[in-house]
Structure 1
């Protein structure tokens, strides 16, 4: 078995293990040394003394097994040896044994009795909390001895175990509370980074240890730089788009006023294509940051896309689409994502399906077509911005190769991803995974 598989994955569990495991090992070593060097030695001497007293009383009774001698021996044991002695006439030793929770108890007493007695014996260290029951076989029955427990075993063993258990519980409680307070700021930082990656607004205050505070401040500074970069990029592309649209509008107006010829029609189509390219550039520059996440139904968005395709005379099969797919996200970005995938499929196939599936933690939307498809080694290249494969499945003949890249960015901004694969229809399958 790989030891790495036994190590907890979470920081809280690992930190707790780092603190508690060495202490637990130390306490086990201390406990072993205590029982081996102190408790067992003291208990062995006490057990040998108690076994010697039992052997003495047994020997005195065997010398004269009369009732009068039994009375004298019993009184002597009670007054001078702190032993309670009783004769069980015509009785036999019990056959069953009751083992102690701590085996050292039985082991020490059995060794002492075996060294002091020649007769068969039996004992029980578990039945009575304050006494040890010892029985010795004699002529005519069994002598039963009840000895105080502190005469047989060292009384510090139980107190030591309770002290160790209490110290362990106290240490574990303090460790859990302390580590929990240290890990919580890191969990908030990880959650904030995840939410920021999905485009959500994040409020985060530095807390915790100095290292975690420094990491939080670094994250906040990084978030500010990213937001400034996005704003600068959007403003730059918006300015370029605005500056270019003005001469393009003049060109369109001039072309509209010129006589209709083949060359004029081709120039007019070029101007329209340039406007479409500018729109794609601007959409890619804006990314997914223009709107706030809100509760939505992905199935409803998908059905709107199917209806949009039907209005231009293109059929998209949505029979395998669930009735409802509730989640949280940005409606415009998600609609753009699915629209790009459907438009890409319609550009290269005459049979397109839009289906859904769902797991415990995610929603999947699949767009399939029967087009030429893409070779598996070109999947990553097809998802890159401005990628134009040749022979081009991803070659957007009406654009600049941003359709799949925009769809992937939209999925990633919602904490999901876009993958490409082979469709059951023979063409390409584009699958979007979005967390619930």
Structure 2
């Protein structure tokens, strides 16, 4: 079944989504909570706050209309005094008549426009005369003015008579509850994600040959099950490594014993024509055994130390010069890395020795990477390796040079050992064309 490609908007959203489990889990919790809070707040303002404000405004507008009509029926100071006294006692309204005044021209409106719109609508439905109002001049009061024939009837009303002033308390409680809920959710998710991160760190450390002795399964049941499976797998692999190490030690002892006897017999035997050839064969056999054991052992038991990369490159350059090549070293004066010294030195010697065998000029260089890692390059001016055979060169016992034969030194394990060491440190080795014209082996190590 062929899957249809995602539309453009879906691909854009997918690219902007978090890629980590922590980010996605947080998004799953935070987004619904925020949507819920927004929906509840909107429903509250639309169905409750606006409705209550509208009822209060209508009540206030009715009281203002009663005061205006009562004064218009008998526009005398005595009637105004009676109206003002009744409004003060029963409606909490302060009423005064400004003789000869007119309504203000400027209009001042509040930040929440729904309050002004609601009050204006209520006043317009109850008053026939021109009116003016201001909800911003006095924080706790509303100023309403009605145009009368002899002046302006001014009404000062408490703000809670026109607006539901306690709405912010509901919003505040809703916000506090949301923050508390999100805080608990974030702590819970963080604890679950931390268990997975620790499992990933333990697996990565084990892949580099390190051991995390205090790692214990914790977290959700599924995470604990995965951690327990990892511990069982690690124990099986360690038992296999220990058995292989013991077997290699036994094989090494069993093979070196007859080789030693042969060397002793050759040394004690009278000179004969094939003596030197036989000594060369014994040297080659011993070298092959060393290569096999080094490849199988992998130097996994060596502890990681902080070493000087320039110093290691200079030592590798000295070994390469003994093979007859001209070697240059380009590296910062100070560049440290956390490595297994013996294993990594062996990888460098294999690469530098291979470059010295196939080229006359060899260049060793190192530089820090922007990501915090280190790149080490070994280049030569030899014939190089075709691009389509770079991966083939890393296969154990691979001998790409047709001119080599079993009588030449080496068994095709140099690049395989070097890559095994680099990957054991969390990095890798890649091959490419060198500026010198030959092969370039680049070792990239994480920070």
Q: Tell me the TM-score normalised to structure 1 length.
A: 0.88
> Could you tell me whether the CA contact under 8 Å between 2:324 and 2:356 is conserved in 1?
no
Gap change, CA 1:41 and 1:417, over 3 Å in 2: same
Deviating more after overlay: 306-315 vs 206-215: 306-315
How many angstroms apart in 2 are the aligned matches of 1:191 and 1:396? 45
Q: Which residue number in structure 2 is paired with residue 150 of structure 1?
A: 160
Deviating more after overlay: 187-196 vs 34-43: 34-43
Gap change, CA 1:128 and 1:187, over 3 Å in 2: farther
Question: 1:82: Cα distance to partner?
Answer: 1.9
Question: 1:86: Cα distance to partner?
Answer: 4.4
How many angstroms apart in 2 are the aligned matches of 1:332 and 1:237? 19
Q: Which residue number in structure 2 is paired with residue 365 of structure 1?
A: 376
2:442 to 423, 427, 431: 431
* Counterpart check, 1:374 vs 2:385: yes
Q: Which residue number in structure 1 is paired with residue 52 of structure 2?
A: 42
Gap change, CA 1:265 and 1:17, over 3 Å in 2: same
Question: 1:360: Cα distance to partner?
Answer: 4.0
Q: Which runs of 5+ in 1 are unaligned?
A: none
Deviations 1:74-124 (A, max 9, x none): 434323322233456456242443322xx4433433332333345555544
1:398 to 398, 404, 409: 409
> Could you tell me whether the CA contact under 8 Å between 2:429 and 2:442 is conserved in 1?
yes
How many angstroms apart in 2 are the aligned matches of 1:109 and 1:77? 19
* Counterpart check, 1:343 vs 2:353: yes
Q: Which residue number in structure 1 is paired with residue 181 of structure 2?
A: 171
Question: 1:138: Cα distance to partner?
Answer: 5.4
RMSD: 2.8
How many angstroms apart in 2 are the aligned matches of 1:142 and 1:391? 112
Q: Which residue number in structure 2 is paired with residue 407 of structure 1?
A: 418
> Could you tell me whether the CA contact under 8 Å between 1:418 and 1:432 is conserved in 2?
yes
> Could you tell me whether the CA contact under 8 Å between 1:47 and 1:153 is conserved in 2?
yes
1:356 to 337, 362, 366: 366
* Counterpart check, 1:196 vs 2:215: no
Aligned to 2:301, what secondary structure does the other structure show?
A: coil
Deviations 1:45-80 (A, max 9, x none): 221121232334345556666655554444343233
> Could you tell me whether the CA contact under 8 Å between 2:332 and 2:366 is conserved in 1?
yes
Q: Which runs of 5+ in 2 are unaligned?
A: 1-8
* Counterpart check, 1:289 vs 2:300: yes
Gap change, CA 1:427 and 1:125, over 3 Å in 2: farther
Q: Tell me the TM-score normalised to structure 2 length.
A: 0.86
Q: Which residue number in structure 1 is paired with residue 18 of structure 2?
A: 8
1:26 to 31, 36, 43: 36
Question: 1:205: Cα distance to partner?
Answer: 1.7
Gap change, CA 1:133 and 1:211, over 3 Å in 2: farther
Q: Which residue number in structure 2 is paired with residue 389 of structure 1?
A: 400
How many angstroms apart in 2 are the aligned matches of 1:3 and 1:165? 28
How many angstroms apart in 2 are the aligned matches of 1:348 and 1:136? 104
Task: Give the alignment of 1:21-170 within 5 angstroms.
Answer: 21-61=31-71, 70-86=80-96, 89=101, 92-100=104-112, 103-119=113-129, 121-126=131-136, 128-136=138-146, 143-170=153-180
Q: Which residue number in structure 2 is paired with residue 277 of structure 1?
A: 288
Q: Which residue number in structure 2 is paired with residue 251 of structure 1?
A: 262
Aligned to 2:331, what secondary structure does the other structure show?
A: coil
> Could you tell me whether the CA contact under 8 Å between 1:90 and 1:141 is conserved in 2?
yes
How many angstroms apart in 2 are the aligned matches of 1:177 and 1:87? 63
Aligned to 2:303, what secondary structure does the other structure show?
A: coil
Q: Which residue number in structure 1 is paired with residue 4 of structure 2?
A: none
How many angstroms apart in 1 are the aligned matches of 2:152 and 2:382? 98
How many angstroms apart in 2 are the aligned matches of 1:51 and 1:97? 18
Deviating more after overlay: 305-314 vs 409-418: 305-314
How many angstroms apart in 1 are the aligned matches of 2:407 and 2:32? 62
Gap change, CA 1:430 and 1:156, over 3 Å in 2: same
How many angstroms apart in 2 are the aligned matches of 1:194 and 1:269? 43
> Could you tell me whether the CA contact under 8 Å between 1:369 and 1:428 is conserved in 2?
yes
How many angstroms apart in 2 are the aligned matches of 1:398 and 1:144? 111
Gap change, CA 1:55 and 1:238, over 3 Å in 2: same
Aligned to 2:379, what secondary structure does the other structure show?
A: strand
Gap change, CA 1:298 and 1:124, over 3 Å in 2: farther
Aligned length: 431
Q: Which residue number in structure 2 is paired with residue 225 of structure 1?
A: 236
How many angstroms apart in 2 are the aligned matches of 1:114 and 1:143? 16
Question: 1:397: Cα distance to partner?
Answer: 4.7
> Could you tell me whether the CA contact under 8 Å between 1:99 and 1:124 is conserved in 2?
no
Aligned to 1:9, what secondary structure does the other structure show?
A: coil
* Counterpart check, 1:241 vs 2:287: no
